[in-house]
Structure 1
Amino acid sequence: MKRFIIILIILITLPSVAQQRITLEECYDLVIENYPLAKQLLLFETQNKLDAAVISTSKLPQLSLDAQATYQSEVIEIPIPNANIESLNKDQYRATVSVNQLIYNGGLVDASLKLKSAQLKTKQKQIEVGLYQLKQQINQLYFSILLTQESELLLNAKQVQLQAKLKEVKSGIKYGAILPSSDKILEAELLKISQQFQELESNKTALIETLASLINRPLDASTVFQNPLIETEFQKELNRPELALFQLKKEEIENSESLIHKQNSSKLVGFAIGGYGNPGLNMLDNSFQPFYTIGIKLNWNVFDWNSNKKQRESLTINKDIVDTETEIFKLNTNIELNQQQKEIDKTKAFITSDLEIINLRKEVLKSADSQLKNGVITASAYITELTNLYEDENTLVKHKIQLQLAKANYNVIKGQ
């Protein structure tokens, strides 16, 4: 018998133990981890490695193979009588292998690598900004689900109260204390409550499915969404990823300036050419000969019509544009914070008055309950007062959820 009781207790408690729970912070983490945009982080990193490898190859020896066969209408002739110098063939052949090794280019390769690294950081931060902006969408869905949960609890309490009142009314009708058909009014109201349950359940399911798609985790109506305790610090200091993005954009521009500046630097290259052809380097030897040439060459673009300078001036303007964008972002964000703070203050005032209204409604309903038992009022009048209390309690719940949502949005806007 004891064994049976233990098994029964396990079977009863198992569903509640296995019931899935989720928090708002977990939703934040999951959307950052699983949203498709996050996959671009790895793609950008892989792409950057490939680009960096391509740039680095310019430091390695460059090998090229050339071959040509030509026929000339005229060739060089030596106008010396009886010199016995054979004229060159009009058909000529040459095959060469060239090796070029970069010795110095003013740090152009390193500057290019730094620019690619800065571009990668900017792209990664842009992804972070995009994922961060999903937090407000998560807030809206999460707290809407919480509101449906709380509304269901209130509606269930109203249903239980009406069911108990229906039993009392039927008993009063039986003994002639209450007017006939009063029970029908209560039964009709209970049917309305069933419809309201269906509507709440449908809305909740839609919200949960949307949230599950965003965070890529299976959720259902049995999932418990924990009501977070959110604290806010009303201060203007921002910690948004967009501010870091603006700074990275400026660093990227500075790296571009450095690269452009080095493009006019002198370039020193060592080279070696080996080949086989007819003629070779000795133009007087009309036969196939091997040959080679080794050397060093310097290239320096001394004058470019101020093209380099103008490019750098254009980039300086881009930095000023980024500074302007930063100021605009801070201004708009502080305006949003101010609006959210006013929303928080307003909702707190509503909650205070909601509590006072509910206390008054409870007194009115208590009086209506006594009057219904004594047949002084009809069931319709009682339902009106009960509905008034339910709607005011629902308003209180709505304002509490709105307060939590406003606090959560404030923290997201501030970057907390």
Structure 2
Amino acid sequence: MNKIVLMLLFFCPFFYGYSQLKIESCQEKAKANYPLIKEYDLISKSLEYTISNANKAWLPQLSVTGIAGYLIKGLPELPGAGDKKDYIFVGIAQVNQTIYDGGAIKANKNIAKASAEVDKANVDVAFNNIKERVNQLYFGILVIDEQLKQLNLLNDNLLRNLNSAKLSKDNGLGYQSDVDEVQAEILSLEQRKIEYNYTRKGYVEMLSYMIGESLNENVQLEIPLTVENYALMENNRAELNLFASQLKLNEASHAFDKVSLLPKVGVLAAGIGITPSMSLGASEVSSLALVGLSTSWDISGLYKSSNNKQLEKIQKDRIVVQQEAFLFTNNLQLKQAESDIEKQKAILAKDDQIVAIKEKIKNAYQLKKDNALVSMNDLITSMNKESEARSNKALHNVQLLLSLYNYKTIKGN
């Protein structure tokens, strides 16, 4: 049993290293790795503190006021004041407990929540560009992989013809020039493979940096499935959520303006100390205490109420206009993407026929060369044309997938 466990532990890294990456996982990892992801947590914490501060408005509010100064000369003496004093000190301690605020605290909290939603939606908008970049890198690697596959197939054919040319030469039935032509073509093909491999390595390094995960330069990517019924997808672009959040914030601001016009009612307790004490008739007063209800009503908002309503309406109209402009541009992008998809489908429909014809021509030239009816150069040309047809088919397949995923991204899916 221990031996089995050890073998599994040994082979697990091997299998993990050759597991295929999926485009969806790359998109999620890139989002999680992007520094702006930290904004979500900061926005949530900021909202938590703002709501906490708003709730504290229900706590008793204590205020202490001290007044000290000289009595103005020439004033009549206070009744029963005795010796005239040149100074006076008044201390006031007041406790207010709000019992009705007209809904101001609730309105403040609603504004804080709506503002947080706007901030989060702004972050989501930024992530859309990250998704597009991942798509470009991912499908760029897939395109290179398909081209390398076709080059390897061509290389196998060339090697077979090289061996055949060498054998014919050794038997006195062929020429050294045939061998040289095939060898030169193989070297040219190796150059193309080197170029593709270095380009692929650069793409993998960029993808690795974006997802925050070390990738082997030979990492294999899974070819995504074809997206069916792409035109029926719901539009989930983050910008639409941003506009909706901005409208909610506008409504919350309007609600706050309305409640700010209402009076505030609370319970009041106050204590007043006076030095020197004052004589009121037969009594000497040095302190007072009182409790009761307090009412405040700031009517300054009434002067600006009409203008504020107009400003909020203008702001709302601006948001609606921006949303309409975005949808106009977004629909234009979707139409272009849909056109690209249909174009790729139409091109791809001809590829099978082209490949079949080019393969038939190559086979005919191979037969003619075997019977010394054409030159090696003619055969190599026909092989290159067949390889080119196969490469184009593979390229068009990946381009169709890229067009489909671009459509998904433009629609926010």
| Normalised TM-score (structure 2) | 0.89
- C-alpha distance in structure 2 between counterparts of 1:194 and 1:352, whole Å: 31
Distance 1:285 1:133, change over 3 A: farther
- C-alpha distance in structure 2 between counterparts of 1:303 and 1:142, whole Å: 60
Q: Name the structure 2 match of 1:141.
A: 137
Distance 1:31 1:90, change over 3 A: same
Partners of 1:337 and 1:414 within 8 A in 2: yes
Deviates more, 1:269-278 or 1:186-195: 269-278
| Mapped pair 1:120 → 2:120 | no
Query: Any residues of structure 2 matched to 1:218-229 within 5 Å, and which?
Result: 218-229=214-225
| Alignment-mate amino acid for residue 268 of structure 1 | V
Q: Name the structure 1 match of 2:176.
A: 180
Distance 1:264 1:279, change over 3 A: farther
| Mapped pair 1:271 → 2:268 | yes
| Alignment-mate amino acid for residue 143 of structure 1 | F
Over the residues paired in the alignment, what is the CA RMSD in angstroms? 2.9
Partners of 2:139 and 2:402 within 8 A in 1: yes
Deviations 1:359-402 (A, max 9, x none): 22112211222333344333333222222222221111111100
Deviations 1:28-70 (A, max 9, x none): 3223333222221111010011111122222211123333442
Deviates more, 1:40-49 or 1:341-350: 341-350
- C-alpha distance in structure 1 between counterparts of 2:237 and 2:10, whole Å: 48
Offset at residue 13 of structure 1 (A): 10
- C-alpha distance in structure 1 between counterparts of 2:61 and 2:144, whole Å: 69
Distance 1:224 1:377, change over 3 A: same
| Mapped pair 1:199 → 2:198 | no
| Mapped pair 1:350 → 2:347 | yes
| Mapped pair 1:252 → 2:249 | yes
Partners of 1:75 and 1:88 within 8 A in 2: no
Counterpart pick for 1:170 among 157, 166, 169: 166
Q: Name the structure 2 match of 1:53.
A: 52
Partners of 2:261 and 2:302 within 8 A in 1: no
SS at match of 1:22: coil
- C-alpha distance in structure 1 between counterparts of 2:298 and 2:65, whole Å: 27
SS at match of 1:149: helix
Partners of 1:179 and 1:378 within 8 A in 2: no
- 4+ aligned runs moved over 4 Å, structure 1: 10-14, 280-288
Query: Any residues of structure 2 matched to 1:2-401 within 5 Å, and which?
Result: 15-16=14-15, 18-74=17-73, 76-78=75-77, 85-233=81-229, 234-235=231-232, 237-280=234-277, 289-302=286-299, 304=301, 306-401=303-398
Partners of 1:76 and 1:87 within 8 A in 2: no
SS at match of 1:221: coil
Partners of 2:62 and 2:93 within 8 A in 1: yes
| Alignment-mate amino acid for residue 260 of structure 1 | D
| Alignment-mate amino acid for residue 321 of structure 1 | R
| Normalised TM-score (structure 1) | 0.88
Offset at residue 299 of structure 1 (A): 2.1
Identity %: 23
Offset at residue 179 of structure 1 (A): 2.2
Partners of 1:89 and 1:286 within 8 A in 2: no
SS at match of 1:228: coil
Count matched residues.
Answer: 406
Offset at residue 288 of structure 1 (A): 9.6
Deviations 1:227-274 (A, max 9, x none): 011223223752333323222221111111000111111122333332
Partners of 1:76 and 1:88 within 8 A in 2: no
Deviates more, 1:393-402 or 1:189-198: 189-198
- C-alpha distance in structure 2 between counterparts of 1:164 and 1:376, whole Å: 19
- C-alpha distance in structure 1 between counterparts of 2:356 and 2:184, whole Å: 27
Counterpart pick for 1:404 among 385, 396, 401: 401
Offset at residue 196 of structure 1 (A): 1.6
| Alignment-mate amino acid for residue 308 of structure 1 | S
SS at match of 1:170: helix
Offset at residue 88 of structure 1 (A): 4.1
Deviations 1:113-163 (A, max 9, x none): 111111112222232333244322222111111111111111111112111
Deviations 1:198-254 (A, max 9, x none): 211111111112222222222222322100112232237523333232222211111
Offset at residue 175 of structure 1 (A): 2.1
- C-alpha distance in structure 1 between counterparts of 2:32 and 2:12, whole Å: 33
Distance 1:286 1:31, change over 3 A: farther
Partners of 1:273 and 1:293 within 8 A in 2: yes
Deviations 1:68-123 (A, max 9, x none): 442345274339xxx87425421333444322222322111111111111111222
Unaligned runs of 5+ in 1: 1-6
Offset at residue 193 of structure 1 (A): 1.9
Partners of 1:275 and 1:290 within 8 A in 2: yes
